Amino acid sequence: MFGNLFDIMGKLDKVKKEVKQTREKLAQTQIEHTSEDRKIKVTVTGDKQLHSLFIADDMMQDKNELEAKLLNTINQALAQAGDLQEKEVKSVISKTFGNIPGLGDLF
């Protein structure tokens, strides 16, 4: 009984370390998203930090349009980063424990 418990605890420690390494790798991964009209381009990191922002000069004329496109483009890039983060962390966990529902939410 305790052997299994110690084995599970050891696996949890291993997974925590691997998840930490994965998150560090994600912080270095850049995801780029461009608006449909190519007038706004954002780059975010895999840990959901805005890294760079490009705005075409002609976008400066209409503040409301600029704000709307910025929000949409940034949110789409952050959603991609979130999907990547979730995929990477679940991959690390499933390598050790298999597919246990809800376990990926612990990290």
DSSP reduced 3-state for 96: helix
Question: Could you report the per-residue pLDDT of 50-64, keeping only the tens digit for each?
Answer: 999 999 999 999 999
Residue-range domains of the chain with CATH: 21-89 (3.30.1310.10)
Question: Could you report the per-residue pLDDT of 39-96, keeping only the tens digit for each?
Answer: 999 999 999 999 999 999 999 999 999 999 999 999 999 999 999 999 998 888 888 7
Q: How far apart are CA 105 and CA 5, in angstroms?
A: 21
DSSP 53: E
Q: Are 59 and 65 spatial neighbours (Cβ–Cβ below 8 Å)?
A: yes
